[in-house]
């Protein structure tokens, strides 16, 4: 058997292409071919075609320490104050990134192995503490113009570089936004995405500026995954997630047909 991406699902769902009724539910009537179930409702001419065994495609967070930016993240010209404020769930686990007074690019990042031609999406929950957010990539990921700026006051996108495949911002309430950047790897290499402080939402990629020693942003829940979809957040600690979390269609789904 093999699991195959469901056409039109944006790489989110997959189905078992050899599934039969015994692989789903014994009382799920119909004919099965290539993992696809065809069923005609009794007393009608309505024919339904469904994938016999379907699940959410595995989700993996390639980052370690996804909520601990004081551990396992390289810091440049800023300080991380751990557990500084309430996260989007209301727990005191969100970290503060506070800019140093010196001049330089102020960011945190992790190095990850990327594969050429593959799209990757980074997302992070962010809240303003005087500054805005930029997500950017190294030259090996989308080139020199792969970045996106996020206005954490208005909840809107700022400048998005031409090298970015996509960028999104979603309101999670209480000043929190989930921000994402999708870009394509130009090489098989060890490289990085930067979670960067910026002064203006029109700044270019990786700006350098002189900090005031007190301003910054709050962040929580960083995630890096393959593909162009912002996936359900998965927490990691000292290693990247290895459990592929899935969800199969329920018996109720079939009973309701």
For residue range 209-247, list pLDDT tens digits in order: 999 999 999 999 999 998 888 888 988 888 766 545 444
Distance CA 142, CA 181 (A): 11
Q: What's the pTM?
A: 0.77
Distance CA 250, CA 54 (A): 9
244: Cβ–Cβ under 8 A, 6 or more apart, which residues? 58, 59, 60
Give the pLDDT of residue 139.
Answer: 87
**Taking Cα atoms as reference points, which of 19, 55, 12 lies closest to residue 38?**
19
Q: Pull the structure tokens for residue 227.
A: 């593909």
pLDDT digits (tens, 9 = 90+) for 63-107: 999 999 999 899 999 999 999 999 999 999 999 999 999 999 999
179 vs 232, higher pLDDT: 179
Report the share of the chain in percent with pLDDT over 70.
89
Q: How far is CA 99 from the centre of its chain?
A: 25
Give the pLDDT of residue 147.
Answer: 97
Average pLDDT estimate for 192-203: 97
Report the first-to-last Cα separation within the chain, whole angstroms: 25
Exposure of 7 by Cβ count < 10 A (0-12 exposed, 13-18 middle, 19+ buried)?
exposed
Distance CA 227, CA 58 (A): 12
Check pLDDT > 80 for residue 28: no
Supply the mean pLDDT for the chain.
Answer: 89
Give the pLDDT of residue 246.
Answer: 46
Give the pLDDT of residue 247.
Answer: 47
| Structural domains for the chain | 3-58+245-255 (no CATH), 74-226 (2.60.120)
Check pLDDT > 80 for residue 118: yes
Which of 27-31, 168-172, 238-242 shows the lowest mean pLDDT across its residues?
Answer: 238-242
Give the pLDDT of residue 245.
Answer: 45
């Amino acid at each position: 058997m093999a699991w195959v991406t469901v056409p039109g699902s944006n790489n989110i769902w997959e189905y078992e292409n050899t599934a039969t009724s015994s692989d789903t539910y014994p009382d799920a009537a119909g004919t099965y071919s290539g993992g696809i179930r065809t069923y005609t409702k009794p007393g009608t001419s309505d024919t339904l075609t469904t994938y016999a065994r379907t699940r959410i495609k595995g989700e993996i967070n390639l980052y370690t320490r996804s909520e601990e930016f004081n551990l396992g993240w390289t810091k440049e010209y800023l300080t991380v104050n751990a557990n500084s404020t309430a996260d989007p769930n209301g727990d005191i686990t969100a970290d503060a990134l506070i800019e140093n007074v010196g001049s330089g690019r102020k960011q945190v990042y992790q190095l990850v192995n990327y594969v050429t031609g593959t799209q990757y999406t980074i997302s992070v929950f962010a809240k303003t503490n005087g500054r805005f957010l930029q997500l950017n990539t190294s030259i090996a990921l989308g080139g020199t113009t792969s970045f996106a700026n996020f206005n954490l006051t208005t909840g809107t996108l700022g400048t998005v570089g031409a090298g970015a495949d996509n960028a999104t911002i979603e309101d999670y309430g209480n000043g929190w936004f989930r921000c994402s950047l999708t870009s394509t790897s130009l090489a098989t290499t060890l490289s990085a995405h930067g979670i960067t402080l910026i002064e203006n939402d029109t700044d270019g990629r990786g700006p350098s500026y002189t900090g005031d020693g007190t301003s910054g942003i709050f962040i929580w829940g960083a995630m890096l995954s393959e593909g162009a979809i912002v996936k359900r957040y998965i927490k990691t600690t000292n290693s990247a997630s290895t459990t592929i979390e899935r969800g199969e269609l329920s018996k109720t789904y079939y009973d309701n047909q």
